[in-house]
Amino acid sequence: MKSIKSLTLLIILLASTVNLFSQYDTTKYLWPYSPMTLQRPITGTFGEYRSTSVEGHYHNGSDIPNTAGTPILAVLPGVVAVAYHDGSTGYDSYVRVTSQVNGQSKNITYYHTIPSVSVGQQVTLGQQISTVAIDHVHLIEYKLGGTISGKQINSIRPNGGLSNYNDTWKPRIRYVKFLLDGTNTFLPSNSLGSKIDIIVHVEEQNGTSSSAMNNGTYRIGYKILSADSQTVIYNPADNGLRFEYYNLPGNNYVNINYYKPESSTSQHVYIVTNGSGASNVTATQAVTNNFWNVNNHPYSNYVVMVFSEDTRGNADTVFIPITTTDVDLIPPQAPQMNFVKRDDVNHFSFGWNIPPDPDLKGFRLFYSLNGSTYQLKDNESVLTNSLNGFQYSYNQMNPLYLKLFAVDSAVVTNVSEQSDVYGIRMLDDDKKILIVDGFDRYGGSGSWANPFHDFVVSHAQSFNLSFESCTNEKVIDGGFNLNDYQLVIWICGDESTADETFSTAEMSKVKSYLENGGKLFVSGSEIAWDLEGASSATSADTEFLHSYFKAKFVSDDSNIYGVLGTDSTEFAGLGFSYGIQSQGSPYIEDYPDIIEAFGGSTEVLKYNGLAGAGVAYTGTFGNSSSAGQIVFLAFPFETIGLAEARNQLMTASLKYFGMINPDFVEGEQAVFPSVYSLEQNYPNPFNPSTTIEYSVPIQSHVNLIVYDPLGRKVAVLVNEVKQAGNHKINFDTSVLSGLSSGIYFYTIRSAGYTATKKMILLR
**Residue 23 pLDDT:** 55
Residue 230 CB neighbours (<10 A): 8
Q: Where in the chain is the domain with CATH 2.60.40.2550?
A: 677-761
**Residue 675 pLDDT:** 76
Q: Are strands 241-244 and 519-524 parallel, antiparallel or unpaired?
A: unpaired
**Which distant-in-sequence residues (6+ apart) come within 8 Å of 669 by Cβ?**
464, 723, 724, 725, 726
Gyration radius (Cα) of the chain, Å: 32
DSSP-assigned letters across all residues of 165-230: ----PPPEEEEEEEEETTSS-B--TTSB-SEEEEEEEEEB--SSSGGGSSB--SEEEEEEEETTS-
CA quadruple 453, 456, 457, 458: dihedral sign? positive
| CA distance readout (Å), 66 to 32, 41, 138, 166 | 11, 10, 11, 19
Q: How far apart are the first and last CA of the chain?
A: 106
> Burial code of 340-379, b = ≥16 C-beta within 10 A, e = fewer?
bbbeeeeebebbbebbebeebbbbbbbbbbbbeebeeeeb
The rounded distance, in Å, linking the Cα atoms of 578 and 590 is 10
Tally the C-alpha atoms within 13 A of residue 167's C-alpha that lie toward its C-beta.
26
Q: Where in the chain is the domain with CATH 2.70.70.10?
A: 2-162
| CA distance readout (Å), 711 to 275, 566, 685, 714 | 76, 56, 20, 9
By C-alpha distance, which of 69, 79, 132 is closest to 106? 79
Residue 668 CB neighbours (<10 A): 10
Angle between helices 504-515 and 539-547 (to 10 degrees): 30
**Residue 10 pLDDT:** 37
CATH of domain 427-667: 3.40.50.880
The rounded distance, in Å, linking the Cα atoms of 532 and 200 is 38
**CATH classification (class only), 677-761:** mainly beta
**Residue 180 pLDDT:** 87
Residue 478 CB neighbours (<10 A): 8
Determine the Cα angle at 537 with ends 541 and 488, to 5°.
Answer: 40
For residues 39, 40, 43, 48, the Cα torsion angle rounded to the nearest 10 degrees is: -30
Check if the beta carbon of residue 96 is closer than 8 Å to that of residue 109. Answer: yes
By C-alpha distance, which of 77, 95, 88 is closest to 30? 77
| CA distance readout (Å), 556 to 338, 534, 553, 634 | 31, 9, 8, 10
Query: Kind and range of the H or E element at 337?
Result: strand 336-344
**Which distant-in-sequence residues (6+ apart) come within 8 Å of 245 by Cβ?**
45, 46, 47, 154, 216, 217, 218, 219
By C-alpha distance, which of 82, 91, 72, 83 is closest to 32? 72
SS3 of residue 685 by DSSP: coil
For residues 240, 244, 248, 251, the Cα torsion angle rounded to the nearest 10 degrees is: 40
By C-alpha distance, which of 647, 598, 648 is closest to 619? 598
Which tens digit of pLDDT belongs to each residue from 88-130?
889 889 999 999 999 999 999 999 999 999 999 999 999 999 9
**CATH classification (class only), 331-423:** mainly beta
Query: Kind and range of the H or E element at 432?
Result: none
> Burial code of 285-324, b = ≥16 C-beta within 10 A, e = fewer?
eebeebbbebeeeeeeebbbbbbbbbbbebebebebebeb
**Residue 696 pLDDT:** 85
**Residue 715 pLDDT:** 92
The rounded distance, in Å, linking the Cα atoms of 597 and 605 is 11
Check if the beta carbon of residue 207 is closer than 8 Å to that of residue 42. Answer: yes
Structural fold of domain 2-162: Glucose Permease (Domain IIA) (2.70.70)
**CATH classification (class only), 172-323:** mainly beta
The rounded distance, in Å, linking the Cα atoms of 333 and 162 is 48
By C-alpha distance, which of 683, 676, 668 is closest to 760? 683
Bin 194: left if φ > 0, else alpha if -120 < ψ < 50, else beta.
left
**Residue 724 pLDDT:** 75
The rounded distance, in Å, linking the Cα atoms of 711 and 747 is 11
The rounded distance, in Å, linking the Cα atoms of 95 and 34 is 18
**Residue 1 pLDDT:** 32
SS3 of residue 121 by DSSP: coil
Q: Where in the chain is the domain with CATH 3.40.50.880?
A: 427-667
pTM: 0.55
By C-alpha distance, which of 630, 641, 596, 611 is closest to 523? 630
| CA distance readout (Å), 587 to 36, 51, 56, 494, 677 | 44, 17, 20, 10, 30
Q: Are strands 128-132 and 136-142 parallel, antiparallel or unpaired?
A: unpaired
The rounded distance, in Å, linking the Cα atoms of 347 and 349 is 7
Q: Where in the chain is the domain with CATH 2.60.40.10?
A: 331-423
SS3 of residue 445 by DSSP: coil
Which tens digit of pLDDT belongs to each residue from 310-349?
999 999 999 999 999 887 878 899 999 999 999 998 999 9
**Residue 672 pLDDT:** 59
The rounded distance, in Å, linking the Cα atoms of 751 and 473 is 34
Q: Which residues of the chain have pLDDT under 70?
A: 1-23, 662-672, 674, 699
The rounded distance, in Å, linking the Cα atoms of 435 and 638 is 13
**Residue 21 pLDDT:** 30
In one-letter notation, the amino acid at residue 533 is: G
